[in-house]
Amino acid sequence: MIRASIVGGSGYTGGELLRLLHFHSQVEVAQITSRELGGRYVHSVHPNMRGVSRLKFIHPDALNACDLLFLALPHGTAARSIERYAGLAPKLIDLSADFRLDSAAAYERWYGEAHPAPDWLERFVYGLPEANRERLRGADFVSGVGCNATAVNLALSPLARAGLMQRAVIEIKVGSSEGGNKSNAGSHHPVRSGAVRTYKATGHRHLAEVQMILGCEIPIHFAVTAIEMVRGVHLLAHCYLKESVAERDIWRLYRGGYRGEPFVRLVSGKVGLHRLPEPRVVAGTNYCDIGFELDEDGAHLVVVAALDNLGKGAAGSAVQAMNLMFDFDETTGLEFPGVYP
């Protein structure tokens, strides 16, 4: 049993962490912080935890030492206080973008400012278990993952590893929770409801994580569009292959690539309503569903993937990484299959 605390627990990711950790058999949530909500019960912000957790928010300055700190802070915040947090716990998981990239130059290019703690970048392991499982075992410092990047990396990894993909053009549709819990002009209900708004047609910063995991050699382009959905990432990728293949070859590639992966499910049926992945099916879970259809020419493959941006795209992957860090069973606390309908 370990004692873990959550820094920045009032946001959606912090609330999802609290929910997952509360039901984890090997974790006691010791403290949860909020600068603005100190003294209030967590269920005042995360109403699903009413009658479940009696924790109250504390001010970050009142944090005590623990075994593991989850940092669920706005981008750029954790890096400016990383020395303090490392002094409070021997192991850290930072869910922001502060330590995802492996170089200060890449961070400055994609985030528009110099990294506040560049010497720490090489100490962090990128927290995608499907890509970095062995490095995560026993690691002390782990970064979170970008939700859109995770959808791309998991959807295309088998093709990239096989050297089969020439290029990919991707449309990603996302729910409103991806924008966080702070209101803005775009989240105002009369504006957001019913919207199909492309807010990043090129140059999304999550592409940096894709290039880091899949490599820079393959041209990958993606646009991100906000739709009428709360939780979820839906990916549709047009993959142009170097040669014509048969559908059985694609099946062999994906089954081989994800054999034994507990949270990647292949979904590609010929009939039925759910023959391809859909975000609502994975809402509240740590699953990423992946499916595909091969065009008649055998050289154009459409890959479809779905995940929960707060689950597999954030808190779920973080808990999965924690399980590896502490040598727990990798699926502990993450077995929830979602609800349907």
> Which residues are known to be catalytic?
147
Q: Where are the extended beta strands (E) located within the chain?
A: 2-7, 27-33, 57-58, 68-71, 91-94, 125-126, 141-143, 165-174, 197-200, 220-226, 233-241, 264-266, 288-294, 300-307
Token pair belonging to 183: 């209101």
Quote the CA–CA distance of 314 and 284 in Å, as a whole number. Answer: 11
- Burial group, residue 230, by CB count within 10 angstroms (0-12, 13-18, 19+): middle
Cα–Cα distance list, 232 to 185, 283, 313 (Å)? 21, 7, 9
288-294 and 68-71: which strand pairing?
Answer: unpaired
Token pair belonging to 302: 């459409």
